[in-house]
Structure 1
Amino acid sequence: MNPFFLLDLSFILLVLLPWSLSGEFVVLGPQQTVIALVDRDVTFSCHLSPQLDAQHMDVIFFHNQSSLVHQYRYEKDYLKYQHLDYQGRTEFLHEHISRGNVALLLHRVQPSDEGKYRCYFASPTYNNEAEFQVDVASTGTPPHLHIEGAGNKKVRLVCTSAGWYPEPEVQWRNHQEESLSQGTTINKKENGLFSVETSITVSANSKENVSCVIGNPRLSQKLEASVSLAEALFPNVIHRMEIWIGIIVFLSITFLVIVIIIIFKWQKIKKAKVCNEEEADVTPETGFWIICLDNSDTYQAFSSPWIQLQLSVAPKTVGNFLDYETDTISFYNATEATHIHTFHDSFKEALRPWTCPGSFN
């Protein structure tokens, strides 16, 4: 065997054996600051190095200098000296205590829980502890904006919110992201949380948008409320304008619908008439020689008086023949080659054919 190896091994044993035999250990707690949220639960973990069985040890969590948060002794919870602030709010987690791992569960975190904590282990021969920081945080209610009169053609915008921890950061901004001067009051309530009232004074003629921004620097969270001064300062005017615009739009749409209905009905009535002897002013006396279809089933010849035509077959194509020599105009069923009607008159001027597929009135 290599003598150098024996020398190295002996050196290691010389170093470790005193540690193990004396029962010395190091306590390790949270390495980073613990952020605990108000009204929520939080867990603090601690463990021993080297890994040792801590079932028979005395384990205590302290808050700040002397407040006893929780004690584990005689292999069970020992709460005889527990501080009043923690009664009913702690739970010792010892599932892995045989490996030197324990944790404390703290229920319903309060602002007063903030501060330095110590995780203390004590065996019959040795004791040690770890210290760590717990910071408490809470995001408050959404900011509420309201307007108060300030006189001299100025108004005061007031922004309020509650339930913050620690003290929140407050800022007023316009739409250009510029900070506005403000007056801010922050009060600490009995429950340890902070309430905010902040305000700015603006001209009553201002029309810009402004925002009240309240943030928790510990959580990097911000809540914002915005208001348009034009709408906030002159709500009645804007409301009346909106009403009038609505009325005008409604009347315009209604008028358009009525016109469309009237046109539709007028066209329907007009078609139902195609031939009405009392209203028609197209006769041979006025220079018109016409036959027409009335009510989709009756054929009429416009003369004085009108003549109802008896047709055995409804014509699909109508042809007419003008004879100046005999002074006649004849109409024929072009597809059936049958005679429909002939007008007799005297023609002194040139005549032109006229076809009207709809009403001629």
Structure 2
Amino acid sequence: MIPKVRIHLICTTVGHRGTMHLGLCLRVLILVALTVPIRAAQPAQETFTLTVPDGPTSTLSGSSVSLLCQVSPLFNAEPLEVRWYRSSNFHSPVLLYKDHKIQEAPVDPRYRGRVSLTGGMERGNVSLTLERVTVEDRGEYVCQVTSKQWYEKASVFLTVNVTGSEPVLSVAEARGGGGQVNVTCLSEGWSPQPKLTWRNKDGTEIRNEQEVLNTSDPQGLVSVSSWLLYAPSYSDWLACTVSLSEEMKREGRILPHIYTAPTAVHGVSKEAYIVTLVLLILSLVIICALCSVILWKRRGSMWCSSRKSRNRSDQTERGQRPAGNCFILISG
């Protein structure tokens, strides 16, 4: 390889002597230009670092997501080896790029056909794109880049957001009574673990006397439940809100006083109170029926008396003997 300084000297010397045509100098310059390597094709940096997001990367179930990973300083990463793998599965990676192409094996079969490198490796971007995300895809991913002299790795954490069901609220009698009820809120199918909040009719958060329980199903979805001791009034309602963010939330409301019919009256049990209430209603029905019968009898008697009077008047005028008894027929 001829340095640029040497080229300049040759051309200058030839110009002074006048023994060589200018075309020869130009040919030499073209030849040297073709043999000098392009800077972009120079060997990769001896050392480098990886830049990844500080916090977790979030996405929705069923969508696509990019897990960012950038080589620093910027240079062409195509000659390098790029391996993306789950934190505990190095030998069965999510994606393996080697020898200038993505390798078919060994890779985790769960990710086959769903992953790619779309960041632009010629600019040092080795980000992983994952399509058709499921809840099982959440967790830690390791980005490892290796050259002949050096390697570096960094972790990216993926969370998959799933909005659960509408909260279901119920009311039960609180132990010890005292005008309090136990209000329960339940919502299922969340990812990750959501936040549950109780609020009153004024929108004020209720923090006292509440418990929250989270459980996970085999698919990793979270069910959240909470119960709250509350002394309701006729104008109060309660709201239970379950949320992952302001945009991803569910809310249920209830008027507790509707469900707070007395369970004991002067020491009488709930069952006895219900039986008494039923008997009272039956008694009212029977009394109403008897009153109806008596009313019908009275109306019949009055009609009979009126008819007798009219008959007697008619018979007297005709000189006939008054008729006998009047019979009342009551149907039904």
Separation in 1, partners of 2:184, 2:113? 38
Superposition pairs of residues 41-80 of structure 1, within 5 angstroms: 41-67=64-90, 68-80=93-105
Superposition pairs of residues 25-40 of structure 1, within 5 angstroms: 25-39=47-61, 40=63
Superposition pairs of residues 88-237 of structure 1, within 5 angstroms: 88=112, 90-94=114-118, 96-148=120-172, 155-176=181-202, 177-179=204-206, 180-202=208-230, 207-216=235-244, 222-230=249-257
Change (3 A) 1:34 1:70: same
Change (3 A) 1:206 1:29: same
Change (3 A) 1:34 1:204: closer
Higher relative contact order (CA 8 A, sep 6+): 2
Residue type matched to 2:252 in 1?
Answer: A
2:193 is paired with a residue whose SS is: coil
Separation in 2, partners of 1:139, 1:96? 33
2:69 is paired with a residue whose SS is: strand
Q: Please, what TM-score do these two structures have when normalized by structure 1?
A: 0.50
Instruction: Give structure 1 stretches of 5+ with no counterpart.
Output: 1-16, 235-361
Deviation at 1:139, TM superposition (A): 3.2
Residue type matched to 1:50 in 2?
Answer: P
- Offset from partner CA, 1:5-35 (integer Å, 9 cap, x none): xxxxxxxxxxxx9xx7673242433333233
Deviation at 1:192, TM superposition (A): 0.8
Superposition pairs of residues 229-308 of structure 1, within 5 angstroms: 229-230=256-257
Instruction: Give structure 2 stretches of 5+ with no counterpart.
Output: 1-38, 262-332
Over aligned residues, Cα RMSD in angstroms?
3.4
Separation in 1, partners of 2:158, 2:46? 27
Deviation at 1:59, TM superposition (A): 0.9
Match of 2:304 in 1: none
Deviation at 1:133, TM superposition (A): 3.4
Q: Is the 8 A contact 1:36 1:109 kept in 2?
A: no
Deviation at 1:201, TM superposition (A): 4.4
Residue type matched to 2:94 in 1?
Answer: V
Structure having the higher Rg: 1
Separation in 1, partners of 2:227, 2:84? 44
Change (3 A) 1:131 1:183: closer
Q: Is the 8 A contact 2:53 2:68 kept in 1?
A: no
Residue type matched to 1:81 in 2?
Answer: P
Q: Please, what TM-score do these two structures have when normalized by structure 2?
A: 0.53
Separation in 1, partners of 2:118, 2:132? 21
Separation in 2, partners of 1:138, 1:51? 36
Residue type matched to 2:185 in 1?
Answer: C
Deviation at 1:72, TM superposition (A): 1.3
1:98 is paired with a residue whose SS is: helix
Deviation at 1:208, TM superposition (A): 1.4
Separation in 2, partners of 1:161, 1:110? 20
Change (3 A) 1:146 1:124: same
Q: Is the 8 A contact 2:67 2:156 kept in 1?
A: no
Tell me which of 35, 39, 46 is aligned to 1:24.
Answer: 46
Separation in 2, partners of 1:22, 1:100? 10
- Offset from partner CA, 1:298-317 (integer Å, 9 cap, x none): xxxxxxxxxxxxxxxxxxxx
- Work out the number of aligned pairs and report it: 214
Residue type matched to 1:199 in 2?
Answer: W
Change (3 A) 1:37 1:232: farther
Q: Is the 8 A contact 2:211 2:228 kept in 1?
A: yes
Select between 166-175 and 86-95 the one with higher mean Cα deviation.
86-95
Residue type matched to 2:115 in 1?
Answer: E
Change (3 A) 1:62 1:149: same
Query: Percent same amino acid among aligned pairs?
Result: 24
Q: Is the 8 A contact 1:209 1:228 kept in 2?
A: yes
2:68 is paired with a residue whose SS is: strand
Separation in 2, partners of 1:135, 1:216? 11
